Amino acid sequence: MSAIHAADPMVPNVMRVVRTRRELADVWTLEIDPGPNGFAFAPGQFNMLYAFGIGEVAISVSGDPAESDRLIHTVRAVGNVSTALAHMKPGDTLGVRGPFGHGWPVEAATDADVVVVAGGLGLAPLRPTIYRLIAERSRYGRIALLSGSRSPTEILFRGELERWSARLDIDVEATVDHATGDWRGQVGVVTTLIERAAFDPANTVAFVCGPEIMMRLSAVELERGGVAAERVYLSMERNMKCAIGHCGHCQFAGDFVCRDGPVATHARLGPLLALREI
């Protein structure tokens, strides 16, 4: 899996927020100026974002890896640190450490069909991969993007989903757990979209991100359809503190998610996900 590593992983760089965008009721996207040297990262990697005086939290990069002159993070306000980050204004400063971790192995999908399965905020860590797949469209076979949300008001990046859906070379399907308002789309969990997606299971790579139970069930459905467990990739989320495998907060059996993940195959993670104690 491709990875780009920070030169000095424990020293944060001070960066400035350029603009913000409210995506959902509790979700904001921050555009950050990385400075004159830009910011290179691999799709699926994360940064440690530090709100001065409050604390630090791990957030996946959600921007285009081809645009190194801006750094994009999508943040859900759920705790003190993420709330402080989500409520930042243009001109505010924050600390950035990273990038860290192993990302989505986009290169492994060359000449293969690609199935991207996103649940809720899981679309944010997958968005850099979608940008890469679109930019290098001729390198891949069929591409299916399957997105699930709890309700129509909680569909992340809805405008982009609509633009991607309008393309003739990508199959985009969205579903919601509960329909409200004037929603006329699919209703049901995102796993129900997998059996309707067009892909060759013998030559498919799948990228899955979302709540843990959603990833586990999606992986099972993909494998039931014939995709090998070694070609189904999941992105794990644990309580990451140091981001370099020293503190032990994100230990997952014998691995540290920050160092050995967050992306790994279902062949590797599946037996662990089935254990309630982990």
Averaged pLDDT, 127-149: 98
Residue 258 lies in a domain: no
Write down the pLDDT at residue 107. 94
Q: Which one, of 92, 96, 93, 57, lies nearest residue 77 by Cα? A: 57
Cα distance between residue 41 and residue 103, in whole Å? 9
Six-digit token string for 195: 């059996």
Dump pLDDT digits (tens) for 251-273: 888 888 888 889 999 999 988 77
Asked if 89 and 20 touch (Cβ cutoff 8 Å), the reply is yes
Q: pLDDT (tens digit, 9 = 90+) per residue, 36-76?
A: 999 999 999 999 999 999 999 999 999 999 999 999 999 99
61 lies in the same domain as 126: no
Task: Please count the other Cβ atoms lying within 10 Å of the Cβ belonging to residue 84.
Answer: 21
- Classified as helix, coil or strand, 85 is helix
Lowest mean pLDDT among 6-20, 51-65, 163-177, 263-277: 263-277
**What is the span of the domain harbouring residue 69?**
13-100
Report whether pLDDT(226) > 50. Answer: yes
- Residues 94 and 122 reside in one and the same domain: no
Rounded CA-CA distance 185/183 in Å is 6
Say yes or no: 128 and 95 in one domain.
no
Total domain count, the chain: 2
Task: Residue 51: name the closest of 97, 6, 93 by CA.
Answer: 93
**CATH number, domain with residue 227:** 3.40.50.80
Q: SS in 3 state form for 10-71?
A: CCCEEEEEEEEEEEECCEEEEEEECCCCCCCCCCCCEEEEEECCCEEEEEEECCCCCCCCCE
d(CA 5, CA 123): 23
Average of per-residue pLDDT across 85-107: 97
**Same domain? 110 vs 230:** yes
- Return the closest-CA partner of residue 148 out of 136, 138, 166, 161: 161
Q: What is the mean pLDDT of the chain?
A: 93
Stronger pLDDT, 68 or 243, i.e. the higher one: 68
Mean predicted confidence (pLDDT) in 193-216: 96
Domain-ending residue, one of 77, 100, 123: 100
* Residues 157, 180 within the same domain: yes
Last residue of a domain, one of 100, 129, 152: 100
Q: In the predicted model, is pLDDT for residue 1 greater than 50?
A: no
Q: Is residue 73 part of a domain?
A: yes
At 46, list the tokens.
């994360």
Does the structure show a pLDDT above 50 at 180? yes
